[in-house]
Structure 1
Amino acid sequence: MGHDLPAETGPVNMQARPKKPASASYEDNKARALSTDVAVRADLAAREDAEPEILYYLTDDESGVVRKNLAINPCTPVKANLILAQDDEDDVRIELARKICRLLPDLSGEQTAMLLEKTIEVLDILARDQEAAVRAIIAESLKDSVDAPKNIVMTLAQDIEEVVSSPILEYSPLLSDNDLLEIMASGIAAGALPAIARRQGIGEDVSEAVVAQLEVPVVSALLANPLAKIREETLDEIMDQAEGIEPLHEPLAMRLNLSLRAMRRIAGFVGASLVEKLVSRHNLPATTEKELKNIVRRRIDQTKTFSEQPEESGKTFAERLFVDGALNEEKVAEAVDLKDQDFVATALSLLCKYSQKRVKAMLASRNGKVVTSLCWKAGLSMRLAFKIQTVIAQVSRREIVNARNGIEYPFTEEEMDWQLSFYES
């Protein structure tokens, strides 16, 4: 073993201890520490009345069972805990993490200031441990603490493992909105964003940053969070996404404190049953209820009219409308709602005066910038361009181009012409 046992029997004042029954003699414990029987040494390591220097000596024991008992023992001196925090065996460090988290709330007052400082040093080592299970124990313990060291909380919040970062991101009272924005900007664990979306009382800037990630489960969690503050402009961005993504329909319809303008827009793309829920959720007056249901009814009637073309394909229907001068945004939007790829591709071809081959190549690229530029060339709105990206071109969420200010194309005409130039034929 690397540590020598001191010959003197006087106590080492490394850690305050409660009164215990009379301990075995120092010489007896020293003999036990030197025993070749692992069970004897393990029993000694678990004794709360063993001398601190004896316990410190055992940190170098070759048996993981002995060191694990030391890690569990609340009277193991802090100097020994510092060594155990870097033990080779995961189980030892896991038990140490559990013990430190149990002891930390009781370490207060001037007489334990030095002890607290050393214990926090142990905590800092464990918060950076190579084993996620160790870090997760620390995170779960500190998630509600107002007294935890801020630097350790920030380390855990930025952990690459969701099981570590999520409890801190969702619950820690020490994290400000600015902290959350900084953490998101630097990159967080995959799957940890919903924890921020569920966090109570997040501000408008954080909500906007969450929505910008374009992840459906995250946006759903944000909408379900009644204390999350969401700007009207951010809600517009969510509705832009939700029109083409059905899993967002119900969370959006059930969001509290929606403006009447938002309700009208939601009624324009969700099912009738969700409008019923929206009305009930907000306890709307009869006049507003009637208005929203009329919006749904008109949409259904328009879709029915569009779909009653059994004898002609989407391509033929689009061509006929174009000849009649009736091929417009409304008709294209109806086709998008029906996921009529042939109609949409033909309409874009006719409106842009591009070949069908060229348009289909652009849609098949699944490139948000290209598809957005194509819709601009066709004279369509940015909101419809967003729907065509998601429903027709199936652009991946991370590649989707969002509107600027909720309604405007985010690129200059020169930039969009440049995107289109790659597909010249």
Structure 2
Amino acid sequence: MIMRHFLSWAQTANAAQRAEAAGALARAYLYADLDSSQRREAELTLTSLAEDSSPLVRRALAENLASAVDAPRALVSALACDQSDVASPILSRSPLLSDAELIDCAAIGDVFAQTAIALRARVPSSVCAALAEIGAREASISLAVNPGAEITAFSLCRMVERFGDDGEMREALLSRPWLPATVRNALVNAAAASLSAFVVDCGWLTQARAERLSQEERDKANVVIVADAAEQDGRRGVRELVQHLCASGQLTASLVLRALLSGNRDLFEATLTELSGLREEKVAGLLRDFRGAGFAALYARAGLPEKFLPAFRAALEAQRDHAMAPHSDARLSLVLIEHVLAACAAIDNGELDRLKALLRRFQREAALEQARLETARLAADSHIPEVLPAAAILETPARAPLIDLDAFDAELREAA
């Protein structure tokens, strides 16, 4: 009876009237006290409306049935495959859709449908993986900012691979409360590559100069990431990051030496463990006696450059003598660098020129940073208006940006 009367009336009603009636019927199905035959007729009537020619009617059904756990299952599935403005309420809220259905809807849907799925209160890891692989840029950004999205490290890295050159995408990923070290490293590389391409295209730097500057910024950021990994996950976190850096060709002697000269010993120890294949306890024991033959054998087994051995020994000695703690923002220590330079000068045989050139670059960077900080202190104490970049302030944030844009800008001005 319900179905016959409704269909008879619907033949003369306009789209707005049918939409209002569809919403009322959906609410009655969900909340009214209907007997089994009335409920069956109402379900058949609602299902028939899924093929109504007007999207207003189908949208009214979707909005009223989206959050219901006892909505007609077949109707919900039909609405989820409708055009995106109809399907979006179902895709974003319905508890009846399985992970497989959500993945299928993401595969065939447009950016609006994908975004609706990405913004669900809970997005399972399998659905996140599908969106990370096939989702449009806007859907990926929505997924990244959704705290209910269970995104694995692999899916996060895939999002960086696809959209890492997009600043809004990088910002969305960085807004997540926790990021694996490997993902932060991928974001560093993406940001550095984007900045490097920009300055080269503008003609501000040569390709070689931009590549060196980009590499230095990546190394500085990676030292920060190592410190975070050690704080969050201990040795295991640092070891996993070292494995990633090694597999991706980013683990260089320059990076490891920079970490040591910033007071960070974790990266060096994890590198020796990873490259030598020895147990962590064995490596730690040999590292304590860094002047001994055992350490030299360990260093050689790890395949690190032989010419860098004096520098690593001098850096370890300086850390011990000065009880140097790592800087949270990966700043190089001028004290450590000068100690290593003095040690290299004492054994200068003409083979350390390349190493000393690297150390001189580190020295210049540390001296400039120290001058910026000291000037900021004096300005703060004397109430002198700041003339330095905003980031060059006395108190450094607990976690520095992945790429130091002010240092990058200073380098550009120097090159101009």
Higher-RCO chain (CA-CA 8 Å, sequence separation at least 6) = 2
Larger Rg: 1
Instruction: Give the TM-score, by structure 2 length.
Output: 0.47
TM-score (norm 1): 0.46
